[in-house]
Amino acid sequence: MKVFVTGKLSQKAFDALQNFAQVDAYESDDPMPREQVEARLEGKDALVCILGDQVDAALFQKRPQLKLVANVAVGYDNINVADANEAGVLITNTPGVLDNATADLAFGLLLAAARRIVEADGFVRRGEWTGWKRELMLGAELNGKTLGIVGMGRIGKAVAKRARAFGLNIIYTRKCDDAKTDGELKKAFDAQRVSLQDLCKLSDFISINCPLRQETRHLIGKAEFALMQAHCVLVNTSRGAVIDEEAMIDALEQKKIASCGLDVFEREPLVPERLMALPNVVLAPHIGSATKETRAGMDELAVKGLLEAFSGKLPANAVNPDVWNKFAEKLKSKV
Ligand code: GLV
C-alpha cells in the first residue's frame, strides 16, 4: 500500500501510517503545486491532503489506481465529491476534532472586533495613548445581546456553548428542518430557529458556521447586508465564499455594519486591498483549527479512517459512504 501526503503529518499519525503503508510525503509546509501532487501520486493508492489541494476528475483520470483521499479538514469543498463517486474514490474528512478550536477562534475574532482589540494594540504601540479617557476605544458589550449563528452543526453548537457563558441570546439557521433538533437546541442553549432574513435583522453579532456548498455560496450577499443593523459585527470562520466578499466590503465601507472578524476569504491567500485598508476588520490567515492538539487530532483521525478503509471497514468519517462497494472492488482487484 502506497500513500502520498501533501505535507508533514504529526508524529503519532505519521508513525501509525508508516506501520501500515509505504509513505511518501511532501517535504514542505507550503502549499504544494498541483502538477507536483499529480506527479508524486504516481503508483499511490491513497492521498492525504489539505484544503488547499484541489481534487477532481482530472486527477482521478490521471491516477486511476487512487482509491482514497483523506482530507485533513472538516470542510471538503476542495474536493469534487461527484467526480470521486464517479471514479469510485472514497473521501474522508476530519469532523468533530476541531469544533472547540474553531469556536474559540470565532469568539476570539468576535471579541477582538467588538472590543477593537487589534485597533487598540496598534494605538498603544504607536505611542498615541495619552491617558485614560471616557470615550477611548468604545466598543460593544456582549452581555444581553443577540448572536445569530448561521449553521448550527457541531461548530455552531460549540459557538453557542461559549455564547451562553457571555450572556448572549442565540438565534440560528440550519439546513435541516427537524423539530426534534430544534427542541434540543432550545433546551441546551435557549436558542431559537429563525429565517436567514430575520437572523440578519435581529442579530447584534453574526457567526458563520455552515459548510461551503453550492447552496451556501454567497449566502450572505448585498440583500442580507442591507437587512443587518449598523452596529452588527460579523464573524466568519467557515469558508470565505459563504459571504459575497465584494458586498461585505461595500457594507463595511458604507458603514451598513460595524465590523468583521475574518479567518477565511474568497480567494485565499488573497485578501483584497480594500479590506486590508479598513481599520474595523480583524484578519486571520485561516487558523480556525490551528492548535497543536487539534492539528494532531485531525491528522490522527485522517490516518485512522484511511487504515480502517484499507483494512476493509467503512470509516465513520467517510464523506461518500455510497462509494464503499466500488472502493472495495478496486481494493480487491488491486488496480
Ligand atoms: C478548516 O477550515 C477545515 O475545514 O478543517
The one-character DSSP state at 8 is P
Is the distance from CB of 240 to CB of 269 less than 8 angstroms?
Answer: no
Instruction: Tell me the per-residue pLDDT of 172-228, one tens digit each, with 9 for 90 and over.
Output: 999 988 999 999 999 999 999 999 999 999 999 999 999 999 999 999 999 999 999
- The pLDDT of residue 332 is 87
Q: Rounded to the nearest whole angstrom, what is the distance from the C-alpha of residue 265 to the centroid of ligand 1? A: 13
Q: Rounded to the nearest whole angstrom, what is the distance from the C-alpha of residue 11 to the centroid of ligand 1? A: 20
- The pLDDT of residue 81 is 98
- Tell whether 201 and 244 lie within a shared domain: yes
The C-alpha cell at 285 is 490567515
- Tell whether 181 and 45 lie within a shared domain: no
Instruction: Tell me the per-residue pLDDT of 303-330, one tens digit each, with 9 for 90 and over.
Output: 999 999 999 999 999 999 999 999 999 8
74 Cβ inside 6 Å of ligand 1: yes
Q: What's the gap between Cα 14 and its chain centre?
A: 23
Query: Residue 335 pLDDT more than 90?
Result: no
Instruction: Tell me the per-residue pLDDT of 255-298, one tens digit each, with 9 for 90 and over.
Output: 999 999 999 999 999 999 999 999 999 999 999 999 999 999 99
Domain total for the chain? 2
Q: Rounded to the nearest whole angstrom, what is the distance from the C-alpha of residue 83 to the centroid of ligand 1? A: 21
- The pLDDT of residue 176 is 86
268 catalytically annotated: yes
Query: Residue 334 pLDDT more than 80?
Result: no
Give the neighbor-by-neighbor strand order of the sheet with 259-262.
192-193, 169-173, 146-150, 205-208, 233-236, 259-262, 281-283
286 catalytically annotated: yes
- Tell whether 148 and 297 lie within a shared domain: no
Q: Whose CA is nearest to atom 4 of ligand 1?
A: 75
- Tell whether 90 and 125 lie within a shared domain: no
> What is the distance between the alpha carbons of residues 90 and 77, in angstroms, rounded to a whole number?
15
- Tell whether 88 and 227 lie within a shared domain: no
Residue 119 belongs to domain with CATH number: 3.40.50.720
- Tell whether 122 and 200 lie within a shared domain: yes
Number of H helices, E strands in the chain: 14, 12
Is the distance from CB of 4 to CB of 53 less than 8 angstroms?
Answer: no
- Tell whether 203 and 72 lie within a shared domain: no
| Residue % of the chain over a pLDDT of 90 | 98
- Tell whether 117 and 82 lie within a shared domain: no
DSSP codes joined into one string, 168-224: -EEEEE-SS--HHHHHHHHHHH--EE--HHHHHHH-SEEEE-PPP-GGGTT-B-HHH
- The pLDDT of residue 89 is 98
- Tell whether 132 and 41 lie within a shared domain: no
Is the distance from CB of 59 to CB of 43 less than 8 angstroms?
Answer: no
- Tell whether 68 and 103 lie within a shared domain: no
Of the residues 40, 63, 193, 286, only one is catalytic, namely 286
- Tell whether 275 and 256 lie within a shared domain: yes
Backbone region of residue 99 per phi and psi (left: phi > 0; alpha: psi in -120 to 50; beta: other values): alpha
- Tell whether 203 and 277 lie within a shared domain: yes
51 Cβ inside 6 Å of ligand 1: yes
Mean pLDDT over each residue of the chain, to the nearest integer = 97
Range of the domain at 199: 99-283
- Cβ neighbours, 10 Å, residue 106: 27
- The pLDDT of residue 333 is 83
> What is the distance between the alpha carbons of residues 234 and 227, in angstroms, rounded to a whole number?
13
Query: Residue 5 pLDDT more than 60?
Result: yes
> What is the distance between the alpha carbons of residues 322 and 335, in angstroms, rounded to a whole number?
20
